[in-house]
């Protein structure tokens, strides 16, 4: 390794690497995996703002569900990113989890999904795939979906479970470290170092690090930082889609037919009133609603499920997709603004409302909440009124979607169905990259994962990492000739 004295202003040593990966989520992990699998001689550094897997623990799990606002949040940052605390679903379809087919085409995307799925199996993923073959019961569900103006996307799913997901990613950590990858935790990157439209390295609290290639794969938690870096360094972007909605929770009995047939049914609806796209996302049979915190204190809702521990409820997100045009260019801030409105009413906790109260235009009270058949799995959620938070258009979209879903799974539109708000997916403005995922404006800078606005789930983020690793290997091989 080559050492040199860095800029006198910082008075630190700068180390030279072949590749620096910013962010240790699935995209970053699989970039490192692919690199060391094919070239053990590369000097690779991963910089991660969060903690190692062993030190990622949320106090809410032991103190009665009260968030103490850890910095950084162990749910959204650390080894394996927010994916470590998801329920670990691998979507084995090109139609789900991102936009890779737009860059690679359907056939190549599916080839890479199959390749990456085999890696997951090697590291301990469950061999069972849900919804692989359409049964007569699944076809009947599809018929009812068509009748309700819903599109049912056929997507086989491999379910890992939250606890098994963490075990699997820990094994991947052991693998890449054993093959020479250096990982620095508690090391948030503050700036990209760019000279003459070429990446030279990164700057973080511990010093400057140089590299021939830099991969930025910061995930949703880092998307705001990435957007600011793009604005600062004139990295070419375009406005991305804003996904805002709620998390729905109902009894398992309501969703049993879909859960047993598909595990997770991907359903899309274009609403009658506004023709907006609403989709189901991240369904968790027998799962638990959870809260996530961004910027330390901004509470948004999410959900997960374990492989072994089960609740009496199923939860899933309903997300309304909005594509804005110029002059709007702040999708992340827009989502945060709506989340802040909910937080104002709840003292920075997640808001919950019964569907029956929402359609009657009244606030849910604690008394009405706990007389239901369904008991909320997010214990510190605050009863309230989503109509005081969500824009009218999004609210109408969600209500129309629930009414449509009720035709497929009767009982979902009952008074007692719970809606938690708000769920926001903090995707960055989409960064313009080539088919190799190199920045269109900065040489040797590669971008991938959810934070770059390219993927939206574990599998496509992992595939994105595999592809970036392969592209950098091509470059390093060409350079060595």
DSSP track, 274-315: T--EEEEEEEEET-EEEEEEETTTEEEEEEE--SS---SEEE
**Token pair recorded at residue 143:** 């018929």
In terms of residue numbers, what domain contains 231? 3-125+166-238+431-479
Q: Does 383 fall in a domain?
A: yes
130, part of any domain = no
Residue 417 lies in a domain: yes
Same domain flag for 395 and 441: no
Angstrom distance (rounded) from CA 355 to CA 372: 12
- Is the bond preceding 72 in cis, omega lying within 30 degrees of 0? yes
277-285 β-sheet, strand order? 150-153, 266-270, 277-285, 313-323, 241-251, 418-425, 351-354, 382-383
Q: What are the distances in angstroms from CA 468 to CA 194, 246, 319, 447?
A: 20, 33, 29, 8
Tens of pLDDT, residue by residue, the chain (481 residues): 333 333 334 435 578 999 999 999 999 999 999 999 998 899 999 999 999 888 888 776 666 666 667 778 788 889 998 887 777 889 999 999 999 999 999 999 999 999 999 999 999 999 999 988 889 999 999 999 999 999 999 899 999 988 899 999 999 999 999 999 999 999 999 999 999 999 999 999 889 999 999 999 998 888 889 989 999 999 998 887 889 999 999 999 999 999 999 998 999 999 999 999 999 999 999 999 999 888 768 999 999 888 889 999 999 999 998 877 778 878 878 989 999 999 999 999 999 999 999 999 999 999 999 988 999 999 999 999 999 999 999 999 999 999 999 999 999 999 999 999 999 987 667 899 999 999 999 999 999 999 898 998 899 999 999 999 999 999 998 776 6
Report pTM.
0.83
Residues 101 and 116 occupy one common structural domain: yes
- Residues 230 and 365 reside in one and the same domain: no
Beta bridge partners of 21: 46, 215
Q: Is residue 131 part of a domain?
A: no
Residue 315 lies in a domain: yes
Q: Rounded distance, CA 155 to CA 116, Å?
A: 16
With helix as H, strand as E and coil as C, how does 64-84 read?
A: CCCCCCCCCCCCCCCCCHHHH
pLDDT of residue 86: 75
- 58: nearest Cα among 291, 407, 276, 303: 291
For residues 42 and 25, the answer to whether their CB atoms sit within 8 Å is no
Does residue 442 fall inside a structural domain? yes
Structurally, how many domains does the chain consist of? 2
Largest CA distance in the chain: 73
To 5 degrees, how large is the angle CA 215–CA 221–CA 226? Answer: 50
Q: 363 lies in a domain?
A: yes
* 5: enclosing H helix or E strand: strand 3-5
pLDDT of residue 11: 39
């Amino acid at each position: 390794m080559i050492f040199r004295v860095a800029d006198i202003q910082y008075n630190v040593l700068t180390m030279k690497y072949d590749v620096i990966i910013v962010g240790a989520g699935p995209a970053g992990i699989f970039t490192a995996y692919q690199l060391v699998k094919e070239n053990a001689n590369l000097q690779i550094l991963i910089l991660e703002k969060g903690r190692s897997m062993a030190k990622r623990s949320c106090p809410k799990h032991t103190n009665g569900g009260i968030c103490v606002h850890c910095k950084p949040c162990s749910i959204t940052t650390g080894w394996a990113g927010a994916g470590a605390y998801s329920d670990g679903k691998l979507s084995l379809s090109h139609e789900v989890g991102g936009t890779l087919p737009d860059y690679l085409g359907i056939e190549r995307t599916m080839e890479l999904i199959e390749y990456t799925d085999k890696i997951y199996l090697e590291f301990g993923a469950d061999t069972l795939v849900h919804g692989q073959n359409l049964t007569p019961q699944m076809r009947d569900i599809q018929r009812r979906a068509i009748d309700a103006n819903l599109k049912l996307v056929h997507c086989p799913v491999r379910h890992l479970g939250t606890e098994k997901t963490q075990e699997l990613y820990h094994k991947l950590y052991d693998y890449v470290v054993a093959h020479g990858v250096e990982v620095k935790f508690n090391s948030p990157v503050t700036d990209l170092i760019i000279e003459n439209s070429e990446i030279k390295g990164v700057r973080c609290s511990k010093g400057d690090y140089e590299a021939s290639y830099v991969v930025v794969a910061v995930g949703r938690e880092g998307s705001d930082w990435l957007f600011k870096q793009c604005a600062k360094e004139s990295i070419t972007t375009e406005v991305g889609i804003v996904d805002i909605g709620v998390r729905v929770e109902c009894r398992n009995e309501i969703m049993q037919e879909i859960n047993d047939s598909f595990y997770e049914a991907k359903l899309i609806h274009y609403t009658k009133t506004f023709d907006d796209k609403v989709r189901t996302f991240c369904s968790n049979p027998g799962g638990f609603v959870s809260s996530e915190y961004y910027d330390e204190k901004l509470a948004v809702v999410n959900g997960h499920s374990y492989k072994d521990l089960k609740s009496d409820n199923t939860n899933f997100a309903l997300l309304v997709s909005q594509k804005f045009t110029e002059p709007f260019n702040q999708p992340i801030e827009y989502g945060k603004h709506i989340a802040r409105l909910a937080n104002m009413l709840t003292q920075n906790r997640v808001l919950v409302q019964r569907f029956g109260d929402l359609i009657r235009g009244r606030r849910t009270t604690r008394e009405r909440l706990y007389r239901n058949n369904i008991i909320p799995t997010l214990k510190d959620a605050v009863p309230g009124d989503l109509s005081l938070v969500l824009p009218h258009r999004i609210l109408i979209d969600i209500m129309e979607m629930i009414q449509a879903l009720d035709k497929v799974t009767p009982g979902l539109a009952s008074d007692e169905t719970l809606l938690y708000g708000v769920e926001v997916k903090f995707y960055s403005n989409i960064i313009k990259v080539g088919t190799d995922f190199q920045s269109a404006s900065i040489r040797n800078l590669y971008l991938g994962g959810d934070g770059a606005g390219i993927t939206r789930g574990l599998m496509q983020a992992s595939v994105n990492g595999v592809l970036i690793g392969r592209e950098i290997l091509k470059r390093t091989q060409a350079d060595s000739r």
